[in-house]
Chain A
Amino acid sequence: MEDGEVAPAGVGPSGVSPFVSKVLAPGDVVLDLNSANKVLRVGSGLRQDGDSILATKVGRLRFQKQSNKYWVEGSQKRYIPNVEDTVVGIMVDRRSEMFILDIGGPAFGSLPILAFEGATRRNIPNLQVGAAVYARVVNAHRDSDPELSCTDASGKSAGFGPLKGGYIFECSTGLARGLLNKPTPPVLEVLGKSLSFEIAVGLNGRVWVNAPKVTTTITVSNAIQNSEFLSPAQQHIMVKKLLEEL
């Protein structure tokens, strides 16, 4: 990749960056804004530097046509908060106006006490220290603490809020993202065929699993953790083996 030079003028037939789905390193120029004549959304792992967009993380460049959004997808153990990410946080402290959650990033996130569906001053959710919460990142500027919310944009809970029961395990951000992919990953598919469970995937590398039986939860969590570097066929085999031992 070039060294800080401006991207070639012929950026692509429709002004799309030629590096989509290619692996980038920090400093690589993704797009020259002069040649792309649309309004763009710059997602995580990218930043604007004058007339060009540079990558700041290692990963593959992704592009979404509907929203005209570029972002860089990489896999790390450590989580860097980005807006609109859904994360699993752990309550560590309660302040007067907010709950402090550990989301596994460089700083703790703050969750306003009214950021729940149907929450009023009289009706504050009762979260204890050590509770697991499924929340959405509202604000994640580089220099300030991330802000969270347990409602979606319209104020409905949409699955956010405290998580009851279940078990949580850690994984890399890449695996977490993979679990949320549109064609369901093979590991979840095969597991889902024979077991009934529910999961909440946090893009901060935390996954919450719940099932009526303890053995199911254990099997599901181990299967997902094992599946990170396996091919689809290997994932099938691995899950089948685990299910046999159940």
Chain B
Amino acid sequence: MANNANAGLRITTNERDFIEAAIKEDHRIDGRTPFDYRKLHIKFLREDGSVEVQLGQTRVLAVVKGEITQPYPDRGNEGSLAIYTEFSPMGDPAFELGRPSEMAVELGRIIDRGLRESRAVDTESLCILSGRSVWAIRVDIHILDNYGNLVDAANLAALAALLSYRRPECTVGGEDGQQVIVHPPEVREPVGLIIHHIPIAVTFAFFGDGNFQVLDPSLKEEEVMGGRITITINSQGEICAVQKGGGVGVSASELMRCIRIASSKAQSITETLKKAVEVHEIERAQRKIRRHRNLPTEIEAEVEMEEAPEVPEAPMASEPTEPEQAMDTERDINDERMSDATQLESNEIKNADAQVKKSSRAAGEKDIFAGGESAWGDDAKLTPLKGAPGTRSSFFPLDSDALVEFDVAAKAVLRGGVSSQRMSSKVVSAPLQRQISGQIAAAAVYANQSSAHIAEEARSLGPIFPRVADMDSTEGIVSVEGTEAELGVLGNSTLETELVNQSEDKPLNFLSSGKKKAKKRKSGGVRQN
């Protein structure tokens, strides 16, 4: 009597009768029509090959991992694909830990047949060294929430995970040509699996004497149904697997009808899946840009300021983790890459940079970079960026120069109030300007600036550059020609005297030489370049 184990769904005869009566009238308890799928949502997680699929309230997580192993003796030049399922009680109180239940085994088998036996995933391309090393791909399917029709959701999750999985590239080398070298992702781009076709599992439930079918049964419908059938079919109409596990019999004509419906549903689901994968690919490409390390953190930039920027806190502390390295890199970059993005900086920045750094640097960091006057002079010619528009065809992926440039723009934005539209310097060619403004706009959104027009522009560029958001506005960013307020904080008297004539609202030019500007300022105005 004290048995309180809620083992599974308890359903009343009232509900049973009602659900059957409703289906006989083509009504379902959640308001769907008999051949309606629930809302499908595919979410790609951070790591390549992890996907969470939501079908109505059913949630399934699939994770793909690859490992290099020895092949099976009788299939020496093929890799392997294995499907594992996890039915933890988290998904449903009826699931028990330990031995997989019959349903769990059946689910694993259906997905396995659909993917492996139909040759959807190419296993021969997984071979590295025939007979010795092959890739073993493993798909782990976790049921997070069981609200009916786990098969379809799990199959989709496995597919999406396989489509988004990237394995490290490996080559065969060494003296004897028998050594397998696995290249880390930073060195060589990981490659995806070869997938020939996309088999979609479509499940039907039968009621009454088998003459009433519904698609995508929910939890209560599964409790009440008389039988079920799963048809795995791809968008070309090729049937990859059919599974009917017991239950009420179904006539041949009804079966053909189900297959026809499954075929059309498979096409629309394949479209949805492909679109989701595409969006994910774009996001991933954008994210890859930020994988560089050791970017200079101290590069200053003169940018136009719309309003008073955020007052940066005390000294220009570089990134706390690697201050010296950053300084070194910056120096290197300043020395070596003069034809690159750093040319965008004015000379005075470097001058004032040194001065400010001298004066406001925290003890212990002083004068690591003893800049001094620039050797470039006032009329440093600016050559276009390596890879500037015209020399490369697409905006993405950006190369390392553009990355530096982006960094510059991002920091400028983080200081606040950067307008991506106010770049009026004639020195910058228009396409380059657009590019830079685009990047600034992108940086703005990533740095969560609240400027409305920036956000709008940047929204079209898409998401996620995590490092920019990590960047602190206090990281060593000093604008040489900032507003008085900003410089006041720095307490640099030399700078203040220089800029005392400059009004707060005058926009700063993005690329003008510092010295020139100093002259102009003394004469009471900033020349608009």
Total chain A interface residues with beta-carbon distance under 8 A: 30
Q: Is the interface of B mostly helix, strand, loop or mixed?
A: loop
Could you say which residues of chain A place their CB within 8 Å of the CB of B12? 90, 130-132, 168
Q: Which one of B2, B18, B22, B25 contacts A145 once the chains associate, using CB atoms below 8 Å?
A: B2
A68 within 8 Å of B by Cβ? Answer: no
Inter-chain CA distance A145–B3, complex, in Å, is 10
CB contact list, B1-19 vs A, under 8 A: 1-4, 6, 10-19
Inter-chain CA distance A90–B17, complex, in Å, is 15
Inter-chain CA distance A90–B11, complex, in Å, is 8
Residues of B in contact with A (beta carbons under 8 Å apart): 1-4, 6, 10-19, 21-22, 25, 27-31
A/B interface sample: 22 pairs, CB < 8 A: A90-B10, A105-B4, A106-B4, A107-B4, A108-B3, A108-B4, A130-B11, A130-B12, A132-B12, A132-B13, A145-B2, A165-B17, A166-B18, A168-B12, A168-B15, A217-B22, A218-B22, A218-B28, A218-B29, A218-B31, A222-B30, A222-B31
Residue of A nearest to B18 (CB): A167
Inter-chain CA distance A163–B2, complex, in Å, is 25
Q: Are A130 and B4 in contact (CB under 8 A)?
A: no
Q: Are A166 and B1 in contact (CB under 8 A)?
A: no
Could you say which residues of chain B place their CB within 8 Å of the CB of A132? 12-14
Q: What distance in Å separates the Cβ of B58 from its nearest Cβ neighbour in chain A?
A: 17
Q: What distance in Å separates the Cβ of A172 from its nearest Cβ neighbour in chain B?
A: 15
Q: Which one of B10, B21, B29 contacts A92 once the chains associate, using CB atoms below 8 Å?
A: B10
Interface readout for A95-125 with B: 1 if CB under 8 Å, 0 if not? 1000010100111101000000000000000
Could you say which residues of chain A place their CB within 8 Å of the CB of B4? 105-108
CB contact list, A122-170 vs B, under 8 A: 128, 130-132, 145, 163-168
Interface readout for A200-215 with B: 1 if CB under 8 Å, 0 if not? 0000000010000011
Inter-chain CA distance A150–B461, complex, in Å, is 65
Q: Is the interface of A mostly helix, strand, loop or mixed?
A: mixed
Could you say which residues of chain A place their CB within 8 Å of the CB of B27? 214-215, 218
A221 within 8 Å of B by Cβ? Answer: yes
Q: What distance in Å separates the Cβ of A82 from its nearest Cβ neighbour in chain B?
A: 17
Q: Are B1 and A108 in contact (CB under 8 A)?
A: yes
Inter-chain CA distance A110–B30, complex, in Å, is 32
Residue of A nearest to B26 (CB): A214
Assuming the contacts A214-B27, A215-B27, A222-B31, asked whether A145 and B14 have C-beta atoms less than 8 A apart, the reply is: no
Inter-chain CA distance A222–B29, complex, in Å, is 8
Residue of B nearest to A128 (CB): B13
Q: What distance in Å separates the Cβ of A38 from its nearest Cβ neighbour in chain B?
A: 37
Q: What distance in Å separates the Cβ of A224 from its nearest Cβ neighbour in chain B?
A: 13
Q: Are B14 and A167 in contact (CB under 8 A)?
A: yes
Q: Which one of A131, A164, A214 contacts B25 once the chains associate, using CB atoms below 8 Å?
A: A214
Q: Which one of B13, B19, B30, B31 contacts A131 once the chains associate, using CB atoms below 8 Å?
A: B13
Could you say which residues of chain B place their CB within 8 Å of the CB of A107? 1-2, 4
Q: What distance in Å separates the Cβ of A227 from its nearest Cβ neighbour in chain B?
A: 15
Could you say which residues of chain B place their CB within 8 Å of the CB of A100? 1
